Amino acid sequence: MNTPSAHRPRILLIYTGGTIGMIENPETEALQPFNFDHLIDNVPKLKMLNYVIDNVSFNPPIDSSDMSPEHWEEIAHVVENSYHLYDGFVVLHGTDTMAYTASALSFMLENLRKPVIITGSQLPIGEVRTDGEENLITAVQIAAAIDRHGDPMVQEVAILFENYLWRGNRATKRSADNFNAFKSHNYPELAKIGLDINYHEDALYRHHVHEPFKVNYGLDKSIIVIDLFPGLREDAFRHALHTPATKGVVLRSFGAGNAPTAPWFFDALKEAIDGGLVVFNVTQCVGGSVLPGRYAASDALAAAGVVAGADITTEAAIAKMMFLFGQNIPAHEVRRRLTHPICGEMTLPSPGE
């Protein structure tokens, strides 16, 4: 791995909370977020890197189950304010909603050309067998890495966890106890971490046009998620589609984007979509893609005007809808942009698939 030799890399740590910095409550024995000094005191090895490492912390730090679009804006604001002062950013975050935050930041941080590496841990940093120390140190090294042209190696939002670096808007939490807690089922790893950090340069995001960095605020929370399951009742489905103040639905369908063929299902969807609702179809499968027309059971969705989400994750679909509705563009434009990759979050099926 290359790091700049002419100057000490400057890294900003943004501590939001999560298991990595938690300690046990002596009365309840439950883990709860603790302050940044405690965290950093447990990683004296960071000093061996000889980087300039500054930090900012959520006050108070939170369990990521409490993460919200307002918190995403807070993180984006920190990156925006210090973008030109640092070579890279490391966000310390709970694992539970890390993939949502990574997805949201990928849409918010437009034309990002510096690394924003999100990490955390399964065991608190104060525990003997913690994975937090290694994750934090590796994330900081990745945030400082440069390529052979002297540019930042990673120019996107990514999740570093144990042995892998994943594109943030492609990753999903796959295990509540495995140290390799994340995986991207539809996109290769950006780097494999072993004795060395081996980057897969072909997989790394690169911009083709030079536009200035800008942050998109104003995420719109007017969306819901509906999971299909055998036995879903018509009244419950209609009720969900007509949830007040809802502009968009992420519809988690079966397999390659299939749904019940019952006429009531089509009628309910068509009515809602004709009324202005945007419905985005993603698969419930952990891997693979929505392929409209592959099965007759997907025809009703296409005919009703549902937008196919290709191989996007649910986390990225939610973030993308919040981001697009927050741009104050008409619904037809939201629909159009949903079908196009914005920052590497989806791969469109090749014709014939």
Q: In this complex, which beta carbon is closest to ligand ASP, that of residue 18 or of residue 309?
A: 18
User: By rule CB under 6 A, what count of residues binds ligand ASP?
Assistant: 11
Nearest to ligand ASP of 18, 260 (CB atom): 18
96 scored as a contact of ligand ASP (CB under 6 A): yes
**Do the beta carbons of residue 112 and residue 151 sit within 8 Å?**
no
CB-CB contact of 3 with 140 (8 Å): no
Interaction with ligand ASP in 107-146: which residues (CB under 6 A)? 120, 122
Residue 172's closest CA among 96, 118, 107?
96
CA atoms of 294 and 308, how far apart (whole Å) = 12
Residue showing tokens 């943004």: 14
CB of 60 to ligand ASP, least distance (A): 13
- Give the active site residue among 16, 19, 130, 314: 19
Q: Are 20 and 121 in contact (CB under 8 A)?
A: yes
State both tokens at 301.
């969705």
4 conformational bin, left if phi > 0, alpha if psi -120 to 50, beta if neither: beta
Tokens of 27: 């009365």
Does 19 bind ligand ASP (CB under 6 A)? Our answer is yes
Residue 25, judged by CB atoms within 10 A of its CB (0-12, 13-18, 19+), counts as exposed
Among 46, 52, 63, 68, binds ligand ASP (CB under 6 A): 63
List the one residue from 88, 94, 257, 309 that touches ligand ASP (CB under 6 A): 94
| Contact (CB, 8 A) for 144 and 88 | yes
For residues 64 and 103, which CB has a smaller minimum distance to ligand ASP in the complex?
Answer: 64
Distance CA 116, CA 158 (A): 6
The least CB distance from residue 95 to ligand ASP, in Å, is 3
Identified binder of ligand ASP from the candidate list 12, 15, 18, 204, rule CB under 6 A: 18
Stretch that binds ligand ASP, among 88-96, 164-172, 247-255, 263-271 (CB under 6 A): 88-96
Supply the DSSP string of 199-263, one letter for each residue.
E-GGGS---SS----EE-------EEEEE--TT--HHHHHHHHT-TT--EEEEEEBTTTB----H
Q: Which stretch binds ligand ASP (CB under 6 A): 38-46, 63-71, 128-136, 202-210?
A: 63-71
**Nearer residue to ligand ASP within complex by CB, 122 or 313:** 122
Which of the ranges 59-67, 256-264, 273-281, 302-310 carries the binding residues for ligand ASP, by CB under 6 A? 59-67
Asked if 25 interacts with ligand ASP (CB under 6 A), we say: no
- Whether 19 is a known active-site residue: answer yes
Under rule CB under 6 A, residue 175 binds ligand ASP: no
Distance separating alpha carbons of residues 88 and 54, to the nearest angstrom: 11
Closer to ligand ASP by CB, 120 or 292: give it. Answer: 120
Question: Among the candidate windows 92-100, 143-151, 236-244, 321-329, which touches ligand ASP by CB under 6 A?
Answer: 92-100
Residue 94 vs 257, nearer CB to ligand ASP? 94
Closest residue to ligand ASP in the complex (CB): 94
Q: Are strands 109-110 and 88-92 parallel, antiparallel or unpaired?
A: unpaired
Binding footprint of ligand ASP on the chain (CB under 6 A): 17-19, 63-65, 94-96, 120, 122
Write out the catalytic residue numbers: 19
